Amino acid sequence: DAGVIQSPRHEVTEMGQEVTLRCKPISGHNSLFWYRQTMMRGLELLIYFNNNVPIDDSGMPEDRFSAKMPNASFSTLKIQPSEPRDSAVYFCASSLHGYTFGSGTRLTVV
């Protein structure tokens, strides 16, 4: 099993640009989560999907953030337009018993 696969591993973009982060969960896991990690705020839940349906998006910072899960094997987190304060490591996790995290995407917005 390849685990949860995230891409890209690193992303550097200019303020105002659109950023799309991608995640492939573990096959058979019906829950998918997007987290953001910063030194100041720790690990924050952004959105939770169950069976491809968004269940809890209360952690999505603002309208600039959107997430989709068109099928059981793929999810995206989009930021448009990006801002420097969005710089963080973004993790995707899928769950059966306990979360399995992907390696994360380190986003830097300059």
Question: Is residue 25 close enough to count as binding another protein by CB under 8 A?
Answer: no
Question: Is residue 98 close enough to count as binding another protein by CB under 8 A?
Answer: yes
Chosen residue from 48, 69, 75, 79 binding another protein by CB under 8 A: 48
Nearer to another protein, 37 or 81 (CB): 37
Question: Is residue 31 close enough to count as binding another protein by CB under 8 A?
Answer: yes
Q: State whether residue 85 is helix, strand or coil.
A: helix
Count of residues of this chain found to bind another protein when the rule CB under 8 A is applied? 21
Q: Kindly tell me the burial class for residue 21, based on how many C-beta atoms sit within 10 Å of its own C-beta (0-12, 13-18, 19 or more).
A: buried
How would DSSP label each residue in 1-47? ----EEE-SEEEE-TT--EEEEEEPPTT--EEEEEEEETTTEEEEEE
Contact positions vs another protein (CB under 8 A): 31, 33, 35, 42-45, 48, 50, 56, 91, 93, 95, 97-104
